[in-house]
Structure 1
């Protein structure tokens, strides 16, 4: 049986009429108001909007950290909104990686052990965890820094460890929530160059929430939220591309 070339491929992610309601009565808040969003595999999307616009709520739903009040969320054609809590947790562990503004590293634990954590929770064997964690650290430019604790690393290096932890499971999607929010300008651009490389060289789909236009400029597509709706969704025709440069770790 051959595929029908006229039939559109199933997107990686599709939101259809997604709403999210909190509370009831006088205290009711409608954070999302029937949004539609389609994400193809391999995209790099910046999600922007003012505080209270719904962008963080949408990211929580995309990351299976929250569920919609109405509408459909399809991941590779499967209805995520119909999954149980345990099934959503398995989807997160298998397909999604998370990077946060605050790094969220264990303070007294080495970089290597921090990166191993998702594999430990998944039940992987010790030797396999170590090999994968070393490879992930190498891919973010931190080869040789495996034994350092967060206190022995700069902010940029800590965020690299956090990114290595997010990609060690080889996820299909990397969800980054203000990944440069705690970094200076130079380190911010280094982290963005790293995310761009992961997207282009490893094919990881990147969805990034940011309020910084110069960081959003790295994405190939920008989605603007306003008052619980998508106000604008457009391709970035001139994405930022940086020349190859030494990483912070290499320069140290």
Structure 2
């Protein structure tokens, strides 16, 4: 099913095994998960629970050992490495705990980077990057390098870089992990506004219950399996 009723993301019986023989480690043990377009999902769990592995699979950075991953009805595990890279480029945006900005490059140039991969012309690239920096509250900071920005500002640049291509899904891995609670909440308010105002589906890995409270659903992983999947109020 690839019509409008198809889930945006659907994992069915997904397993992921690293290594082989006696050294094999089963990171995911038959995970079933469905995400509808426009949802804001928080993924929680202790270290080694499988949450980051599941995120990597949904972000097309890894493939299941067995099981199925469908994105808008497309069987992702059947795609070639190049096809998965194109899916990442055109449909997905990524935000990481460590920002991952180019250190000697301005905020504007950092945000332009994904558009360069799409071969967008210079004038259009600059216009989109400026508009997106304004959207995340950084008008006037375009020429500043990461070293001239606070942690919260760097994460805003990273978010701008992730959404400048207007992705269908934004995957955020511990996006507030390096920030104090005030800056962390500012980032979460921004993410929620992107979800509500622009309709971007957000998948966020976090270990902080206060940050997970901004999501619609909270999915908890334990020992490679989903222990619970509940709306925010029930999860709390």
User: In the alignment, does 2:231 pair up with 1:232?
Assistant: no
Q: Paired residue for 1:184?
A: 180
CA RMSD of aligned residues (A): 1.5
Aligned residue runs from structure 1 range 79-98, under 5 A:
79-98=75-94
Query: 2:55 is matched with which residue: 48, 52, 59?
Result: 59
Post-superposition, which runs of at least 4 consecutive aligned residues in structure 1 deviate over 3 A? none
Name the structure 2 match of 1:140.
Answer: 136
- Provide structure 2 residue ranges, at least 5 long, that are not aligned to the other structure: none
1:174 pairs with 2:177 = no
Asked if 2 retains the 8 angstrom alpha-carbon contact of 1:220 and 1:239, the reply is no
Match of 1:70 among 39, 58, 66: 66
User: Matched residue pairs, number?
Assistant: 234
Which of residues 89, 114, 129 is equivalent to 2:125? 129
CA positional deviation for 1:237: 2.7
Deviation at 1:9, TM superposition (A): 1.2
TM-score (norm 1): 0.91
SS in 1 for 2:64: coil
- 1: CA distance between counterparts of 2:9 and 2:235? 22
Partner of 1:250: none
Q: Secondary structure at the match of 1:14?
A: strand
Residue 236 of structure 1, CA deviation:
1.0
Scaled by the length of structure 2, the TM-score of the pair is 0.97
- Rate the CA distance shift 1:215–1:87 in 2: closer, same or farther, 3 A: same
| 2:43 alignment counterpart | 47
**Alignment match, 1:151:** 147
SS at the partner of 1:198? Answer: helix
- In the other structure, the counterpart of 2:105 is 109
Shift of 1:147: 0.5
Shift of 1:239: 9.8
- Tell me which structure has the larger Cα radius of gyration: 1
- Which runs of 5 or more structure 1 residues have no equivalent in the other structure? 1-6, 241-252
User: Deviation string for 1:164-203 (max 9, x for gaps)?
Assistant: 0000000000000000000011100000000000000000
Once residues 184 and 79 of structure 1 are traced to their aligned partners in structure 2, the CA distance between those partners, rounded to angstroms, is 40
